[in-house]
Amino acid sequence: MMKIDKDKLIIGAAGPVLALVSSFVLTVLVLLATGLDPIEPIRLMIENAGYSDVQVLIVNYTAILYLAALAVAIGFRMNLFNIGVEGQYRLAAMVSALVGAAVDLPGPLHILVIVLVAVATGALWAGIAGILKTTRGVSEVVSTIMLNAITTSLVAWLILPKNFGVQPAGSNDLTTGQIPESGWFPGIDMGEGGQIYGFTFVALALGVVYWFVINRTRFGFDLRATGESESAAQASGVDAKKMIITAMLISGGLAGLAGMPILLGESHTYSLAFPVGVGFTAITVALLGRNHPVGILFAALLFAFLEKASSSLDIAGYPKEITQIMQGIIVIAVVVSYELVRRYGLRRQQQKVGEELAAGGAIKTDKEVTA
């Protein structure tokens, strides 16, 4: 029977719990300081989340955040800070939308082509940062931030009507053209609530794959080992540079998939209205979920709730920016809480070692007395 390490379990859960509790308390204090009722906005969001259409929106947005956060988590497990998920996600969504609108294939094959193009685009864009890090020693933080900026300008240029964009008649919007119905991913009809993206279940399946690869394969072990200590991994025969590039490619590929739920399930085109900021929110989601697929799922659900259930705040006279304040406070709370828990964990580990050494010494003394 497997023995459960209670200290490890408590420490693992303490970070997210402490972060959420402290962020709630700080949000209440901020609202009180501004003269607003600290409980009413939360009550309104919970009440709004009871409507079926809002529930569908929350589930669909959770899938998008989940995929993006898995991309971030892959980097974190390698001790890589892939801030470029936002750029990888947007560029992949646009390029795959362009290809999807340009080709006409049978249904499953059409969807597969769109998905593969998205994965390849995200992977190649992230791979640039991996190559720069391994060949020139450029920090992935700096390179991915720069690549995000390049993505913004590149997407804006590509979507112009004189290039690859299409401007619908009577609209100021710009799109990449409509993907034929053969490239639509079927979802689940929830009646008046709308439709749950079919790609949501692909996202959940990828979470299982992520867990298996990271925890039950040699590749996952090498990836985690390289993240813990690059020099130790090299001494054991792991090619650290190869692992860095591979991790960035996988992270970018997952980031490319983050746009697929909405592209294949609702919009069927990339336009100026496509969601932005997903990659940055995903960083917090991955941190709050401690890079574990189950933790990431609950964290994504929380942020999706804050984003979609806040639509009722404007109607009630509360600023919708309350949710942005809450998200920002959660980010700060996550960083501080995890650092406090980490320090406590180190002290507890040192204490346990001391207790075991003391117990071993006492046993040895008893044997000597008996002899």
pLDDT at 172: 85
The tokens describing 268, both together, are: 């069927």
- Cβ(189)–Cβ(288) below 8 Å: no
For 40-53, how does the pLDDT look when each residue is reduced to its tens digit (9 = 90+)? Answer: 888 888 898 889 99
pTM: 0.89
Report the candidate in 167, 126, 123, 124 with the shortest Cα–Cα distance to residue 144.
126
The tokens describing 201, both together, are: 């279940």
CB atoms within 10 A of CB 317: 8
Q: Please give the mean pLDDT across all residues of the chain.
A: 89
pLDDT at 2: 45
pLDDT at 94: 97
- Cβ(104)–Cβ(219) below 8 Å: no
Burial of 252 (0-12, 13-18, 19+ CB in 10 A): buried
Q: Compute the average pLDDT of residues 114-130.
A: 98
- Assign 105 to helix, strand or coil: coil
For 183-237, how does the pLDDT look when each residue is reduced to its tens digit (9 = 90+)? Answer: 999 999 998 889 999 999 999 999 999 999 999 999 999 999 888 888 888 888 8
CA 68 to chain centre: 4
Q: Compute the average pLDDT of residues 64-82.
A: 95
- Cβ(94)–Cβ(159) below 8 Å: yes
- Banded pLDDT at 4 (limits 50, 70, 90): low
The whole-angstrom separation of Cα 3 and Cα 105 is 53
The whole-angstrom separation of Cα 289 and Cα 287 is 5
pLDDT at 365: 60
Half-sphere exposure of 125 (CA within 13 A, CB side): 34
For tokens 């100021």, the residue is: 172
Q: 35 or 239, which is more confident?
A: 239
Q: Compute the average pLDDT of residues 10-33.
A: 81
pLDDT at 22 over 70: yes
For 332-342, how does the pLDDT look when each residue is reduced to its tens digit (9 = 90+)? Answer: 888 788 778 77
Burial of 218 (0-12, 13-18, 19+ CB in 10 A): exposed
Q: 317 or 110, which is more confident?
A: 110
